[in-house]
């Protein structure tokens, strides 16, 4: 069991024209594909950005429920972090049971707390393979939307997540959003590709459509015979997102 998140004191703290071929590592397993959405709901997201994010999450639900593979294999976990980290879904839940939450924006950006909650879920909710028996869950996909400016200590829990790659590779894809973006932190947080995203409604809509397409591609790939033994190539990001090399 990972150590529990504790409240920390608040403290202040050129796109490349070529986007590399992106591959998502998938692991041995059956049944479930865990998908985590870590959403920055701090005060810096107030106004148009948080409204666009809310509509984007609703779109993720609408498009995903039209796909049989997503409905059968995807389990969703949503953690918001604004003032304090909150596991909105209280763990992984079936896609059919997922309902887009209200997303009020306020407070600081406790990414460290968020990572501790993620670790607890990875250890408790994600089924590990049992040798000679069950293959366990697919390797989780984690999408982090933030400005990359945490207000608590996040490196320690991040390192704990990296240690778990020996058992279950965690694909962390970071997307910078909001008026102020720290690109270096975004790159340090990610274990996969990193992007900047425009803050308009269309960009959030395109992003969540891309998330849905990525989830569909991975769920269909791992459902095929031998599909869990090789990476899945996912599509390049849509208009409004720029790759950070």
Cβ contacts of residue 79 below 8 Å, gap of 6+? 36, 37, 38, 39, 85, 86, 87, 88, 114, 117, 118
Place of tokens 């389990």: 75
User: Which two three-digit tokens encode residue 139?
Assistant: 């390797």
Asked if pLDDT for residue 113 goes beyond 90, the answer is: yes
- Residue 28's Cβ-side half-sphere holds a number of Cα atoms within 13 Å equal to 10
Q: Of the given ranges (27-36, 40-49, 171-180), which has the lowest mean pLDDT?
A: 27-36
pLDDT tens-digit readout, 174-206: 888 877 788 888 899 888 788 888 777 888 888
- Given this model, what pLDDT does residue 168 score? 55
Highest mean pLDDT: which range of 38-47, 76-85, 124-133, 142-151: 76-85
* Average pLDDT, rounded, for the chain: 80
Asked if pLDDT for residue 9 goes beyond 60, the answer is: no
Measured distance CA(209)–CA(23) in Å, rounded = 18
Work out whether the CA dihedral 221, 222, 225, 227 comes out positive or negative. Answer: positive
User: Where does the pLDDT of residue 224 fall: very low under 50, low under 70, confident under 90, or very high at 90 and above?
Assistant: low
Asked if pLDDT for residue 215 goes beyond 50, the answer is: yes
Measured distance CA(23)–CA(26) in Å, rounded = 9
Q: What percent of the chain has pLDDT over 90?
A: 33
Residues 12-41, mean pLDDT to the nearest whole number: 61
Residues 80-95, mean pLDDT to the nearest whole number: 95
Give CA 98 to chain center in angstroms: 15
Measured distance CA(158)–CA(52) in Å, rounded = 27
Write down the pTM of the prediction: 0.80
- Given this model, what pLDDT does residue 228 score? 52
Question: CA nearest 230: which of 3, 56, 27, 64?
Answer: 27
For the chain, list the domains and their CATH numbers. Answer: 31-243 (3.40.50.410)
Residues 74-91, mean pLDDT to the nearest whole number: 96
Asked if pLDDT for residue 229 goes beyond 70, the answer is: no
Asked if pLDDT for residue 12 goes beyond 70, the answer is: no
Measured distance CA(235)–CA(1) in Å, rounded = 35
Q: Which region holds residue 136: left if phi is over 0, alpha if psi is between -120 and 50, else beta? A: left
More confident residue, 4 or 98: 98
* Helical (H) or strand (E) element with 190: none
- Given this model, what pLDDT does residue 138 score? 84
């Amino acid at each position: 069991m990972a150590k529990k998140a504790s409240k920390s004191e608040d403290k202040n703290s050129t796109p490349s024209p070529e986007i590399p071929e992106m591959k998502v590592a998938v692991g041995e397993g059956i049944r479930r594909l865990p998908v985590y959405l870590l959403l920055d709901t701090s005060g810096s997201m107030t106004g148009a950005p948080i409204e666009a994010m809310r509509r984007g999450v609703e779109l993720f639900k609408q498009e995903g429920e039209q796909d049989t593979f997503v409905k059968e294999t995807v389990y969703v976990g949503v953690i918001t972090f604004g003032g304090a980290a909150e596991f909105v879904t209280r763990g992984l839940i079936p896609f059919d049971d997922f309902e887009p939450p209200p997303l009020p924006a306020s407070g600081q950006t406790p990414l460290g707390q968020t990572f501790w909650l993620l670790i607890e879920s990875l250890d408790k909710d994600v089924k590990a393979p049992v040798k000679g028996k069950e293959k366990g869950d697919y390797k989780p996909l984690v999408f982090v939307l933030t400005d990359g400016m945490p207000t608590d200590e996040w490196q320690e829990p991040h390192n704990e997540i990296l240690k778990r790659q020996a058992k279950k590779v965690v694909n962390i894809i970071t997307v910078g959003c909001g008026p102020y973006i720290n690109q270096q932190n975004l790159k340090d947080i990610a274990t996969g590709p990193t992007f900047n995203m425009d803050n308009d409604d269309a960009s959030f809509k395109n992003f969540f459509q891309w998330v849905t397409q990525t989830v569909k591609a991975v769920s269909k790939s791992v459902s095929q015979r031998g599909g869990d033994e090789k990476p899945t190539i996912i599509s390049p990001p849509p208009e409004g997102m720029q790759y950070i090399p």
